[in-house]
Structure 1
Amino acid sequence: MIKTTKEVQSYKFIPLVYQIASRLGSSKDAQGSTNFQNALASLLKKMAIDHPYHTICQLLALANGDRVKDKQRSRSSFVVDMDKKLAAENLLKELSSFHGALIRQMKQMVEIYIRLAELETRKEDTNKKISLPREFRSICQLELAKVPVVTATIPVDPNCRYEEGTFPHFSGLVDSITIMNGINAPKVIQCIGSDGNRYRQLAKSGNDDLRQDAVMEQFFSLVNMFLQNHRDTSERRLRIRTYNVVPFTPSAGVVEWVNRTVPLGDYLLDSNRIGGAHARYGTGDWTFLQCREHLACVCSYLELSLLYIPVNDD
């Protein structure tokens, strides 16, 4: 198995990096050098050496597998796998002789994002732009010359050539953030790239498992590959619009901000909750506020069925 992983070009495995990394674990029960875990670690090491910007973040997320708040540890999606964490840490140590400076700077960047995602905010700051606390300002001015903007898309190079300057690197963060509406109060931040552009990002922490979102976006990217390789769909330019999701712990990470979009709730109801598509196309239906009032009173199914025509399969 190890021989096979050495023969196949490493870039072919990059689209499946999340699935491959997720199988990493302990090899203490394995016998010989041909066991699955040894082959897996060998493959991941090769991928990280050849394509560090597409692999090391996943390993850092696994190494942070125990960074879960106490109130979340009871949830099945946040169960800590110590074998996986230790295996990732050991692999990162081995990689330090190849990409030591990059790994150190990536760890700094990851820590910044985790602290921002977990930053406690006040309810009255929702939908407002606030200045970063003083202890964050010096951290956010760090220039990490070897670390790319984490939500920027870096094309996979089959020749494993990733020259500095061919992608924007992390040059700091804007010293203000916007607190979004939501249970976990995600923060909109702006990363300053070495190309002078500002990259809007969403730092999230809480009960949402961004690892699942990342896998779904990866799946959509694979679908796009199939669409591109098929003649008919390629000619019609069919594709799914994707965005980057980068988990850093089981419950914290960063999401690429998609420009020229609006939240689904704002589209349906408008920001004032009295207009939007619901008012335009649902003339005569209850308004959002009326729905909330009736739900609060636990309105009966019969009352609802008189107002809305059931959707039938035929």
Structure 2
Amino acid sequence: MSTVEARPTTTSITGAMLGIPQNELVPSRYAVRVGDIDVLVISDGVLTPPAESMATNADAATRSAWLDNMFLSKDAFDWALNAIVVRSGAQTILIDSGLGEEYPDFPRAGLFVQRLEAAGIDLAAVTDVVLTHMHFDHVGGLLAEGVKERLRSGLRIHVSSAEAEFWKSPDFSRTAMPPALVELARRASLDFLREYGSHLRRFDEEAEVAPGVVVTRTGGHTPGHSVVRLESGGERLMFAGDAIFPVSFDHPEWHNGFEHDPEEATRVRLRLMKELAANGSWLVSTHLPFPSVGRVAAAGNLFRWVPVWWDF
């Protein structure tokens, strides 16, 4: 088992990062320390995709029953949108970048850059970016107006080779994305490759980004989808991107409508949850409810989400 402290601590993060602006009613960051590595979970708000997209291979009655049990709408459900900032050694690493200005029909998301600033994170201080994949809600923050000009010229963006190649001519035939989101995903990925192609640092299967920070391709959700594992002083944290969703603990077999290879995504999901249950690692995932910090416990043939006890 990991020797991670029983609850995350905020003591390693500077006071400026924890100051809450007067006009911010709900804090949008949560600090964790993994050995010598500082982690800040940043919320980019909430998306509201159609409810059927959470379980495209489930019958409507079963899906509705699960939504009822979770007190969620049967039409569109709230989907958290999280990214993290990691400080390891001399490097400041942004993992994913939120929605940005890509889709105004999600009015409760898209303020990632402002939330970084509220947390005291200077874009010019970011040395590296890791992309779990290139869906619009993961690259959009870097496409927002004025962001690229504030980033350092030597910025390194780590993404799997399979992911970068896929988005040159993406295939949506196995997804169940609404047509508007298909076109958005296609456009945002091409815009990103055009704007940041010279900054890409591609890897095939795995790469060490910084001391104790390793990104590994899993595939499934997209061909090059990746997860990031942090390890320091015997403590661990995994940022799982879009591999694990809230419904995954009750129904890991349910296919998400945004998955490009649903069967492989299910195999990846089960493999990662077994790993997390076995080693006691903290888990942070893009669409788990903020602050999205917790552990995975085995529960018979399924899994149980054990959220962190908040440390104020």
TM-score (norm 2): 0.30
Q: Look at both structures and tell me which one has the larger radius of gyration over its CA atoms.
A: 1
TM-score (norm 1): 0.30
Relative CO higher for 1 or 2, CA cutoff 8 Å, sep ≥ 6? 2
